[in-house]
Amino acid sequence: MCGMIFTVAIDGPAAAGKGTIGRALAERFGFAHLDTGLLYRAVGVKGGDPVAAAEALSEADLMRADLRSLEAGEAASRVAVIPGVRAALLAFQRSFARREGGAVLDGRDIGTVICPAAEVKLFVTASPEVRAQRRWLELGGEAAAQSYEAVLEGVKARDARDMGRADAPLKPAADAVLIDTSAMSAEAALDAAGTQVRAALARAGHG
């Protein structure tokens, strides 16, 4: 769909499935995909002054092998509360969102702050217990360095930080479609999201 400007904004808490849905949607519809959480993870693991790190962020920084670690996620949550960091990354995200050919962005403030005029807004969530179980299994389950209880505590603490921050708190956009993946398979969640995208493409004359 060359030349088309079409943005899918996906928000939600950690381990709800928004990244999986975002990547699959981009592949299904031929859109570009940006996991905006990687931007904050990259800033967090670079160390030093977070604002300076955000201003100097390059695409190469997003290729680091350690960005998916639990430590990187914690670092991301800490730097994401800094207004200067969010401001430095705003232009990058908005430019990506309006690139030709369509784009899917997933994060925590895409539909509310980054792309309030996105053609599709989804809020993907799940219970803290389900999200902690998923994250614990990703980390190795019984072989993980952390217990399930410790991971659950971390998930709840991160939710509190993300939802309670003064600048761009995590919350659904007023017109976002809620997808609760607590009891859904990945395929069912993707189908629910795809239905919204197809309907919006048709409304925009791209169906």
Instruction: Examine residue 198 and state whether it is found in any structural domain, yes or no.
Output: no
Instruction: Examine residue 197 and state whether it is found in any structural domain, yes or no.
Output: no
Phi, psi at residue 161, to the nearest 5°?
A: -65, -50
R_g (Cα) of the chain, nearest Å: 17
Instruction: Examine residue 130 and state whether it is found in any structural domain, yes or no.
Output: yes
DSSP code, position 176 = P
Helix (H, G, I), strand (E, B) or coil at 18: helix
Instruction: Examine residue 207 and state whether it is found in any structural domain, yes or no.
Output: no
Structural domain including 13 reads 7-192
* Confidence at residue 145, expressed as pLDDT on a 0 to 100 scale: 86
**CATH code assigned at 169:** 3.40.50.300
16 is in an annotated binding site: yes
* Confidence at residue 58, expressed as pLDDT on a 0 to 100 scale: 85
Instruction: Examine residue 85 and state whether it is found in any structural domain, yes or no.
Output: yes
Instruction: Examine residue 183 and state whether it is found in any structural domain, yes or no.
Output: yes
Model confidence pLDDT, tens digit, residues 90-138:
988 998 999 999 999 999 999 999 999 999 999 999 999 999 999 999 8
Instruction: Examine residue 143 and state whether it is found in any structural domain, yes or no.
Output: yes
Instruction: Examine residue 17 and state whether it is found in any structural domain, yes or no.
Output: yes
15 is in an annotated binding site: yes
Q: How many distinct structural domains can be found in the chain?
A: 1
14 is in an annotated binding site: yes
Helix (H, G, I), strand (E, B) or coil at 10: strand
Kind and range of the H or E run holding 178:
strand 177-180
20 is in an annotated binding site: yes
Model confidence pLDDT, tens digit, residues 48-96:
999 999 999 887 898 899 998 888 988 998 998 899 999 999 988 998 9
Phi, psi at residue 148, to the nearest 5°?
A: -60, -40
Model confidence pLDDT, tens digit, residues 20-39:
999 999 999 999 999 998 99
